[in-house]
Amino acid sequence: MTVPPGAASAPGTSGVPSELRRRHAAAARTAPLPCGAHRDPELHEVAPAAPSTYGLTPGELRAEADRLTARGWSVAEVAARLNLREVAPA
């Protein structure tokens, strides 16, 4: 039994959803990550080495910090991930 492209794996087949197979195939066509062991960031916890803005505007960054705090992140966890130095206090 073959699984059509874009369809999830049927029970009893390979057990790997087609999206994961496609993602793995795409990762094999990219350059290795700095660790040298992975090509797919989702297979390796990849994060900036220091707090980052992730390319967000100050308003978007403040909204993301508020969203993370509302989801239970501590102030220290948010500060470790997001560079909030340029964001004015709300």
**Is residue 32 located within the same domain as residue 60?**
no
Q: Report how far residue 81's alpha carbon sits from residue 67's, in angstroms, rounded to the nearest whole number.
A: 13
Containing structural domain, residue 79: 47-90
**Is residue 53 located within the same domain as residue 19?**
no
**Is residue 90 located within the same domain as residue 56?**
yes
Taking residues 57-84, report their average pLDDT: 91
Cβ contacts of 17 within 8 Å, gap of 6 or more: 8, 9
Q: Which span out of 30-34, 79-83, 85-89 was modeled with the highest average pLDDT? A: 79-83
C-alpha distance from residue 46 to each of 16, 33, 50 (Å): 23, 9, 12
**Is residue 61 located within the same domain as residue 24?**
no
List the structure tokens of 70: 């509302």
Q: What is the pLDDT of residues 25-70, one digit of tens each?
A: 877 777 776 666 666 666 666 567 778 888 889 999 999 999 999 9
Tally the domains of the chain: 2
Q: What is the pLDDT of residues 2-32, one digit of tens each?
A: 445 555 545 555 667 888 788 778 777 777 7
List the structure tokens of 8: 């999830």
- Cβ distance 82 to 61 under 8 Å? yes
Q: Quick one: pLDDT at residue 14? A: 61
